[in-house]
Amino acid sequence: MHYKEIQEEFPRRQGPPRSPGLHLTDIIVDIVKPKTSDNDLFKEPGFIWEELLSFAFGQSLADRPGEIVVDGIAMSPDGMDWENWVVHEYKVTWRSTNKLPVDNAYWMMQLKGYCKGLGATAAKMRILYLMGNYRGSGPQYTVWEMQFSKLEIDENWEAIVNHAKFRGWL
C-alpha cells in the first residue's frame, strides 16, 4: 500500500481547527520559555499520543471538550471526565521519569489553566516517557492524579491573565 492510499484509508482524526487569537499555551510559553525544538522528532510523538489516547478512550474515560475561551484566552484540553469532573492531559516527553510532573512549570500552568476553564479542581496526566529513566529502562508510561485548590487555580489564572495584559495581548 502506498502512502497516499494509507492516508485515504486511515484519515487523520482532528479536532476543530485552532481559532485565531490568544491561546493559553502561547502565554505559558512566553512566561516559562521552555527549551523546545522545531525538530518533528520532538513534536510528532506528542500529537500521535494525544490522538491515540483520544481514540482509545473515546468517551469512556474522557471526552474531548473542544476549544473553550475564558477571559479572551482560548484553550483546548485533551479530555474531560464529565462524570467525575476530572481534566485529562496527555503528554509524551524525552524527559526522565526522575523528573516529577509537578516540577514542570509549563505542564502545571497549563493543567491549572484547563481546570479554570472547565471548572474542575482534579486532573489526571497520562505521560509516556520515551526514554524512561535513561538507565536502560526503555519507555515508561505513568498516570498521575492531581488535586488543586481553588486558590491555586485562581492564582495561576491571575498570573496568566496579568502576563497577557503586561504584554499587551489583552
Read off the pLDDT of residues 137-157 as tens digits, 9 standing for 90 and up.
Answer: 888 889 999 999 999 999 999
Residue 17: inside a domain: no
Pick 43 or 19 by higher pLDDT.
Answer: 19
pLDDT of 112: 98
pLDDT of 129: 87
Instruction: Out of 44-53, 114-123, 150-159, pick the least confident.
Output: 44-53
Residue 111: inside a domain: yes
Q: Please, is 90 exposed, middle or buried when counting C-beta atoms within 10 Å of its C-beta (0-12, 13-18, 19+)?
A: buried
Region 76-88 average pLDDT? 93
pLDDT of 41: 52
pLDDT of 131: 75
Report the CATH number that the domain containing residue 150 is assigned in CATH. Answer: 3.90.320.10
Range of the domain at 53: 22-166
pLDDT of 50: 64
Residue 52: inside a domain: yes
State the Cα–Cα distance between residues 93 and 64, nearest whole angstrom: 21
Smallest CA-to-CA distance from 48 within 106, 114, 128 is with: 128
pTM of the entire predicted model: 0.78
Residue 45: inside a domain: yes
Q: How far is the CA of 28 from the CAs of 17, 34, 78, 139, in angstroms?
A: 20, 9, 17, 27
State the Cα–Cα distance between residues 84 and 80, nearest whole angstrom: 9
Read off the pLDDT of residues 2-18 as tens digits, 9 standing for 90 and up.
Answer: 434 444 554 444 445 56
118, HSE (Cβ side, Cα atoms, 13 Å): 31
> Domains in the chain: how many in total?
1
Residue 117: inside a domain: yes
